[in-house]
Amino acid sequence: MIHWAGSLKDQHAPTAKWLAAGTAALVVFNTGISLFGRSVVEKVLHEVREKSAPHHDQR
């Protein structure tokens, strides 16, 4: 999407059009980075909780 917005600017599209496209592209990009980062945090927290939890299956 970021490339698409840049190509609109290169094609001399109206400023409002490529600016809106660029803003939308950055929102989508940042959302993806945020979701990925959050998933890493949740995975690490899950692994820490699993290691620190007592296991009841030991006999």
Residue 57 pLDDT > 70, yes or no? no
Tell which wins on pLDDT, 34 or 54.
Answer: 34
CB 28 within 8 A of CB 49: no
pLDDT band for position 52 (cuts 50, 70, 90): confident
Rounded CA-CA distance 9/40 in Å is 35
Between the CA of residue 52 and those of 19, 41, 48, what are the distances in Å? 49, 17, 6
pLDDT (0 to 100) of residue 2: 85
At residue 44's C-alpha, the angle toward residues 26 and 37, to 5°, is 0
What is the per-residue pLDDT across 3-48, written as a single tens digit (0 to 9) for each?
A: 988 899 899 999 999 899 999 999 999 999 999 999 999 999 999 9
**For the whole prediction, is pTM greater than 0.75?**
no
